[in-house]
Amino acid sequence: MIKIILGVLLWLVIQACGTAVKENTAIPNMIETDKKNLGNLLALYPKPMTVVGSEVEGKVNWLVVGHTGIIGHDRILVSMNKQHYTSRGIRKSQKLSISLVSREMLPQADYVGNVSSVMVDKSNVFAYHIGENGTPVIDASPLTMECNVVDIYETEGFDNFICVIVNTYASVDVLDHAGKLDYTKLKPVLFEFPTYSYLATGEVIGKCLNLDKQPGMCAKQLMACDGIVRLSKIEVYPQYFDEYMKYATEVGEISLRTEPGVLTMYAVSEKENPCMVTILETYASHEAYEKHIASDHFQRYKQETLHMVKSLVLSDQIPLNPANRINNFIQ
């Protein structure tokens, strides 16, 4: 009996020693998420659509370039296939122009991006003039930069031109009152390379380093069947006009930023009588309006300006085309 027991114990020891120990293959600190790993996919899109201008063999040439970038604060990277006809001209002249694309010039830009200069003369697709640095500048483009090539970084199949900006030309209608670029006016076309799609820039949703003080406009509700369109006609006592406008501006901005149901607050005053103020107000629903007038910021406005208002007329309106929308851009 003892021999049998010892035999069983020996067998158990052998089995235990021979059993492979499974390693813990779990990655430390690995958190399960619902994100899918797409591998090494290049996904930094969309990018501003650009038309590169150059001179090749004595002729002006245009090429849409989907891969451009910024290096530091004073360099631009323009990446194109070595086989492009345009690349030859840039290597020889060591200069080029880069033009942003507007909606109006998109059909021509689309064309020059889809035909080869080896087969087609593209020099007259755009009306242009020669800039101060000797490169072609598209007249219809809202913004064009003339650049000099300072280096070429070659990768497999690609010439990557590193450029410094020499001149920047902008249409006056894309500048703000201070003469600086206003990209809400410029609205450059964006290019999404993987699907060959053109996109438009959107609204301003916030100010960098200032979101805690002035958050961007909240997402807006759709207009419901009981939505309200109203003209508020307000006559303000002249001695209180400036003070009244401070309160009115404040409540308008807070309402648009924080209330999803407040769609529009657009105020104007009469040229002949500035104290006559009319505000176009649209609310997504009657419920949205009730929430608005119950809000702290509206109640504060109401109480603080009560003595400043000589008369108030609320006139509800019927939209002639309900599909039309008025957007507010807060900056």
Query: Among 118, 165, 112, which residue's Cα sits nearest to residue 143?
Result: 165
Give the global pTM. Answer: 0.58
How far, in whole angstroms, is CA 167 from its chain's centroid? 24
Record the tokens describing residue 119, joined without a space: 């087969």
Q: What percent of the chain has pLDDT over 70?
A: 82
Model pLDDT, residue 25: 55
pLDDT at 206 over 80: no
Kindly report the CATH number assigned to the domain that includes residue 287.
Answer: 3.30.70.100
Q: Are residues 54 and 195 in the same domain?
A: yes
Percent of the chain predicted with pLDDT > 90: 63
Q: Is the pLDDT of residue 171 over 60?
A: yes
In a domain, 297, yes or no: yes
Across 185-198, average pLDDT: 90
Which tens digits make up the pLDDT trace of 118-164?
888 999 999 999 999 999 999 999 999 999 999 999 999 999 999 99
Domain containing 306: what range? 228-316
Q: In what order do the strands lie in the sheet with 158-170?
A: 59-65, 50-56, 95-100, 143-155, 158-170, 75-81, 67-71
Contact indicator for 124, 62 with CB cutoff of 8 Å: no
Q: Are residues 173 and 67 part of one domain? A: yes
Domain end residue (candidates: 181, 200, 219): 200
In a domain, 111, yes or no: yes
Taking the C-alpha atoms of residue 54 and residue 62, their distance in angstroms, rounded to an integer, is 7
Cα gap 294→290, rounded to integer Å: 6
In 3D space, the residue among 234, 238, 297 whose CA is nearest the CA of residue 262 turns out to be 297
Q: Find the helix packing angle between 241-258 and 296-305, rounded to 10°.
A: 170
User: Is 191 in the same domain as 240?
Assistant: no
Q: Which of 142, 140, 124 is nearest to 185 (CA)?
A: 142
Q: How many structural domains comprise the chain? A: 2
Q: What's the rounded mean pLDDT across residues 169-181? A: 90
User: Are both 251 and 154 inside the same structural domain?
Assistant: no
259/114 same-domain check = no
Q: Does 101 reside within a domain? A: yes
In the predicted model, is pLDDT for residue 296 greater than 80? yes
**Burial class of residue 252 in the structure, from the number of CB atoms within 10 Å of its CB (0-12 exposed, 13-18 middle, 19+ buried):** buried
pLDDT grade, residue 216 (50/70/90)? low
Minimum mean pLDDT range among 11-15, 94-98, 168-172: 11-15
Same domain membership, residue 272 and residue 156: no
**Same-domain pairing of 149 and 251:** no
pLDDT top residue among 302 and 331? 302
If asked whether residues 256 and 144 sit together in one domain, one would say: no
**Confidence category of residue 1, pLDDT binned at 50, 70, 90:** low
Angle value at C-alpha 258, between 182 and 256, nearest 5 degrees: 50
Does residue 269 have a pLDDT over 60? yes
In a domain, 207, yes or no: no
As a whole number, mean pLDDT of residues 255-260 equals 89
List pLDDT tens digits, range 68-109.
Answer: 999 998 899 999 999 888 999 999 999 999 999 999 999 999
Residue 237 and residue 125 share a domain: no
Question: What does the DSSP assignment read for 176-221?
Answer: -TTS-B-HHHH--EEEEGGGTEEEE-----B-TT-TTTSBPPPPPP
Whether residue 164 sits in one domain with residue 87: yes
Separation of alpha carbons 70 and 78, rounded Å: 9
Which residue, 54, 176, 26, is CA-closest to 123?
Answer: 54
Q: 25-29, 35-39, 62-66, 245-249: lowest mean pLDDT where?
A: 25-29
3-state secondary structure of 298: helix
CATH number at residue 114: 2.30.110.10
pLDDT of 330 reads: 41
Q: Is the peptide bond before 215 cis (omega within 30 degrees of 0)?
A: no
- Residue 320 pLDDT: 81
Residues 144 and 95 occupy one common structural domain = yes
Instruction: Mark whether 60 and 191 lie in a shared domain.
Output: yes
Residue 33 lies in a domain: no
Q: d(Cα 233, Cα 42) in Å, to the nearest integer?
A: 54
- Is the pLDDT reported for residue 2 higher than 90? no
DSSP bridge pairs for 64: 51
Q: Is residue 324 in a domain?
A: no
Kindly indicate the confidence band of residue 329, based on its pLDDT and cuts at 50, 70 and 90.
very low
Close Cβ partners of 72 (under 8 Å, ≥ 6 residues apart) = none
71: Cβ–Cβ under 8 A, 6 or more apart, which residues?
A: 77, 162
pLDDT, the chain, mean: 86
Sign of the Cα torsion 20, 21, 22, 25 reads: negative
Looking at per-residue confidence, does 31 or 62 come out higher? 62
Residue 87 lies in a domain: yes
User: pLDDT tens digits for 35-50?
Assistant: 899 999 989 999 999 9
As a dihedral over the C-alpha atoms of residue 264, residue 269, residue 275, residue 281, rounded to 10 degrees, the angle is -20
